Amino acid sequence: MNSALTENQRLLALREQHVPRGIATAHPVVAARAEGAELWDVDGKRYLDFVGGIGVLNVGHNHPKVVEAVRRQVGEISHASFQVVAYENYIQVAARLNAMIGGDAHYKSVLFTSGAEAVENAIKIARGYTNRTAVISFRGGFHGRTLLGVTLTGMSQPYKQNFGPFPAEVYHAVYPNAYRGISSEDALAELDELFATDVAPDRVAAIIIEPVQGDGGFLAAPKEFLQALRARCTQHGIVLILDEIQAGFGRTGKMFGFQHADIQPDLITVAKSLAGGMPLSGVVGRAEIMDAPTPGGLGGTYGGNAVACAAALAVLDLFEEQDLLSQGETLAAQLNEGLLALQKRYPRIGDVRGLGFMQAIEMVADDARQSPDAALAQKVIDEARNAGLLVIKCGVHRNVVRFLAPLVATSEQVAEALQMLDKALAAAC
């Protein structure tokens, strides 16, 4: 018998020894290189990557323009900290985000490193502007793993564990879910009940919501729901924060998810696909709100790192030059059509949903209630990997398989991924 370990096995054994179990790794794969929508492991096996760094790589792995921008910037200045000296590409990123989101209105941007940092600072800014303390988020929402981030997050496991006590004055409202029978009217009635019983609206600094819940199961907030939230926030002087960290930068078919609802948020948080794999996040918002914190109230040593900003400018150029939005919409239609066809053949797919190229399937049990089936979802994910396709799960019950392929994937790769998924479903179901 050949007892020699593969390179994947050898490195994963070292991972087990040196890295704590709290940082979960979805697949027993050690990556060696990647390009576009493809990834190769250290043993040379090729995968279609429909995870994209969890929605980070809308322009794909190692896009040549992003790679060149990073190389050029490293040769000039890699880090100085914007809190010490300013540098031009930070200012350019801020200006482009302001124009992209604010249009002709006066918007300002501040840059950070991670999505959780952006969320935390958006709450700080809203509280500083309103002089109020309470914040409302939504069940099923995900806003990061910092202590405030997991408090805002509307899922208990695996994020909250025994990490409390949690910050006070955070309330959770119901998020619409048509598949589970929760309409916009239901959710709005619950929000109004929250105002009546738990926290008066004149004590609420901010409402934070994802236009499409990412880790919560790829649930898109209906247009009428977001419009009603906008109206209530305006009525009560509440800052409306749209968390666009996963839905932003073309994932939903528009540059930002909130644009489907024809509303204008007060603040939005951005990260993930902003910088093509480099760690960069930000808060973008109305200037009078953004200027509420006094000097020194915002910052972070690495926030708006010069190399990450160079990558972000290259990403924003790509969206303008290559019409990635329309390319993503074409791929989204192909993926959605393929998933609906698979649903007809595999009734354990209870729901196919998403917005744009942000698509998912909900795996359910063979019972009258179509109960969430997390074990089946995991089996589909494992069998997909065996077939050569990388996907991950989401949903409050971890029974949803999500697809976050780069917008630069080809139609041939989407067709190949659907064939791999078909094979996985046949084995799992």
> What pTM did the predictor assign?
0.96
**Residue 1 confidence class, pLDDT cut points 50, 70, 90:** very low
pLDDT at 365 over 60: yes
Tell which of 292, 322, 352 closes a domain.
Answer: 322
Give the count of domains, the chain.
2
**Domain identity same for 165 and 129:** yes
71 is a domain residue: no
**Domain identity same for 200 and 346:** no
**Domain identity same for 298 and 408:** no
Tens digits of per-residue pLDDT, 85-110? 999 999 999 999 999 999 999 999 99
270 is a domain residue: yes
Tens digits of per-residue pLDDT, 338-350? 999 999 999 999 9
What mean pLDDT value characterizes the chain? 96
Tell which of 293, 322, 351 closes a domain.
Answer: 322
Find the CATH number of the domain harbouring 303: 3.40.640.10
**Domain identity same for 144 and 259:** yes
**Domain identity same for 152 and 179:** yes
**What is the domain range of residue 136?**
77-322
117 is a domain residue: yes
**Domain identity same for 56 and 81:** no
**Domain identity same for 277 and 222:** yes
3-state secondary structure the chain: CCCCCCHHHHHHHHHHHHCCCCCCCCCCCCEEEEEECEEEECCCCEEEECCHHHHCCCCCECCHHHHHHHHHHHCCCCCCCCCCCCCHHHHHHHHHHHHHHHCCCCEEEEEECCHHHHHHHHHHHHHHHHCCCEEEEECCCCCCCCHHHHHHCCCCCCCCCCCCCCCCCEEEECCCEHHHCECHHHHHHHHHHHHHHCCCHHHEEEEEECCEECCCCCEECCHHHHHHHHHHHHHHCCEEEEECCCCCCCCCCCCCHHHHHCCCCCEEEECHHHCCCCCCEEEEEEHHHHCCCCCCCCCCCCCCCHHHHHHHHHHHHHHHHHCHHHHHHHHHHHHHHHHHHHHHHCCCEEEEEEECCEEEEEEECCCCCCCECHHHHHHHHHHHHHHCEECEEECCCCCEEEECCCCCCCHHHHHHHHHHHHHHHHHHC
Find the CATH number of the domain harbouring 41: 3.90.1150.10
Tens digits of per-residue pLDDT, 377-419? 999 999 999 999 999 999 999 999 999 999 999 999 999 999 9
Tell which of 322, 348, 366 closes a domain.
Answer: 322
pLDDT at 317 over 80: yes
**Domain identity same for 197 and 243:** yes
Tens digits of per-residue pLDDT, 253-305? 999 999 999 999 999 999 999 999 999 999 999 999 999 999 999 999 999 99
